[in-house]
Every structure is written in C-alpha cells, then in structure tokens.
Structure 1
C-alpha cells in the first residue's frame, strides 16, 4: 500500500493528539514537544540543547500546510517542568485564538519546517532495512519532533 497524499490523524482526547482538529479556514495540529538540532548535539551538555516548544501547525481544508507557529520556552537545563508549563500556557493562548475551533480527526499532507536547526513536520520516511522499523512496506510518515509514526493501513492511528 502506497503512502496517501493526505495522512489521516485520529483525535485522541486523552493522549498525544488531543489538540488537533478544525477551525475557520482549515485544520490544525498543536503540541508541546522537545527537539534537538538536526546536526547533532553535545551529549555531555544535552540538557542545555534539548529545547521545548509550543507548536501550532495550520492547514487549509484540503490538508495543505499554511503556516506554523513554533516558539521555544527554554531548555531542559532551565527546568523542564517550568519550560513545559510555559509552552502549554503559550499553546493554550494560541488555541483559544483559533476561530471556530473544534477538536477532531484531521488529514494533512506531508510538510517540513526548520526552527533553531530542528525539524518540525510530517515527513515520509523509508525503512533502511533495520529490523522493526516502519511497516510491512517499509514506508511511513513521522511527525517531528513529536515522534508519532503513521503507517499502513493509514487509518489515523500512530505508534510512538
């Protein structure tokens, strides 16, 4: 089974996709997540390089990426609980400002955005032959930096 043009994502009210849905003008995917720079990091000082973000991706009704609001609230070295709480407050404000917001399932096209050297987006990945990665076809869509993997039968469910 090939990758569909639009990847369905199921709304799970009490889990990782609780802040996705539709609003006036399209769809949205919002989260709080941590990211490291794509080009690597100093393992000895990883807490200072693990940045926490409030993330709001918006899509049109057809699932095409419109824009992303991505703002860091600090690093794990700054105090993980404090920076996560700040990211949640920031994200709550962004969500409250979405006109006609209704949580529910979405279907979006792959996209990629880079901020602070980190990847944010829904990216098509191919299995490099390692045991246990991807699905039976070796292709899946990975949401970065959230770490959600979507795969055949493309029903909106994900793996972490």
Structure 2
C-alpha cells in the first residue's frame, strides 16, 4: 500500500519535504542529515511519526510513535543506513511487515501534567491544593450510576494520583454534604487551579479518572475526565469542554 499524500518530512536544518517518493526520501536524508543537523522526522499528524537520529554514517537511532507516549517505540540498538532507509520507507508507504525488520522496545515517558482551571461556578469548583498535594472533588449523577456520587480524587504535588474516596448518596444535596466532609478531612485547603496526570480507577461499575483519548482522535492530544465527560485538550489552558 503506497500512501504518501499526508506525509511531511521535517529535517533538523529547518527544511521540509512533502509527499515524498522513495528516491526523494532517500536522497533528502543523505543530503540534509549531517553531524551538524543529525535527525529527520517523517510525520503523518502530530502524534504519528517515525524519526531517525544519525550518530554516525552506519549508526542510526530509529523511533516511531502511534497516537501518544504509550505508543512510542525505539529500535533496539543502532541500525545501518540500509535498514534505517527500509524502516523509514516502510512506515511512510504503510508496507506490511516493516516493523518486523528489527526488534523494538517501548519507551516510557512521564505522563503530561494536564492543567485544570478552577471555575467557582462550574464543574471544577471543588479543586485546589492542600498541605499534602492536590485534589479534585465532584458531585455527579453520571450515566451508568444508580445514585448521586460525591467523590474526591487526591494527588501528590506532582499530579500523580494517590487515591479516590467515593460516597454514594440519594440526591445532590446529600452528595454535596458528603463532599464537604471529605474536603474537611484535608489540611490547609486552598481552592485554585491544579495540574494532574492521567489516571484510572474502576469503582461502582464504572471507570473513573483522567483518561488519555489521544489515540481515538487521530493523534490530537486529548484527555477526558470520566465518567463526567469533561474534555481537556489544545491549547491546554485548563478549561474543559463537554
């Protein structure tokens, strides 16, 4: 399958090549990648790419990414130019089996700290910091729940999820009182904007958390607070969409 219509190649020297044929890709890599400008990146969308870094004439580091950091892989060891060229073109033209040319290892990256803006009269009014970290409180009757839920997600100062307290209730007024009690259990509460990392918790028959939905949006980075369905994405100003 030969599909290069959406392909763009960016080079370290600042140049760009669109919709390359194989000989164009090979020639451009040989001409434009050097010790001074040692890399190229072949893109099909912001989070769909393969890239190669030249450590020497026959020592190339190759990585490819699909959708998000969870889909970022690096070829084990340095590759010759011949193998690197096959990988670059195999990815570009969507040739079957191109990944099988080498062994790959998944690279782990720290998850993004997603900003969440404090809006006193909106769904993010019960968020902020306390002496031991950050918190996100909410009252929700999300689809799939047989109750009105009061909940409090707790995070460390770096935004890593520490735990969630759930309080099933019969109505909104009761849930808000339960949430107030949960918040009273935190020391030094200050309401304000927070920055938290993606996480997931399965409870009460649903998945709760800040879920990375980038892969489902063709590489457009996006996170969804579930099951409330509050979306956070570009320009990552902390505001949500529903």
TM-score (norm 2): 0.52
Taking the TM superposition and a 5 Å limit, the aligned residue runs for 1:30-109 are 30-37=137-144, 50-74=146-170, 83-109=171-197
The two structures, once aligned, show a CA RMSD in angstroms of: 2.0
Larger radius of gyration: 2
CA shift at 1:139, angstroms? 3.2
Unpaired segments ≥5 residues, structure 2: 1-45, 48-67, 69-110
SS of the counterpart of 2:140?
strand
Aligned to 2:43: none
Structure number with the bigger relative contact order (C-alpha 8 A, sep ≥ 6) is 1
* Cα shift readout 1:2-29 (whole Å, capped 9, x = no counterpart): 6761100000111111110000100000
- Count of residues in Structure 1 that have an aligned counterpart in Structure 2: 135
Question: For the residues of structure 1 that align with 2:215 and 2:174, how far apart are their CA atoms?
Answer: 36
Give the corresponding residue for 1:78. Answer: none
1:74-121 CA-partner distances (Å, limit 9, x unpaired):
4xxxxxxxx111111100111122100000010000001111111111
Query: Residues 37-74 of structure 1, C-alpha deviation per residue, up to 9 Å, x if partnerless?
Result: 4xxxxxxxxxxx53321010000001000110012114
Q: Alpha-carbon deviation of 1:140? A: 0.9
- In the alignment, structure 1 segments of 5+ residues that lack a partner are 38-48, 75-82, 129-133
| Contact 1:8–1:154 under 8 Å retained in 2 | yes
Match of 2:54 in 1: none
CA distance in 2, matches of 1:125, 1:32: 23
TM-score (ref. length: structure 1): 0.76
Distance 2:220 2:147 in 1: 30
Structure 1 counterpart SS, 2:177 = helix
Quote the offset at 1:36 in angstroms.
4.0
Q: Which runs of 4+ in 1 moved over 4 A?
A: 1-4
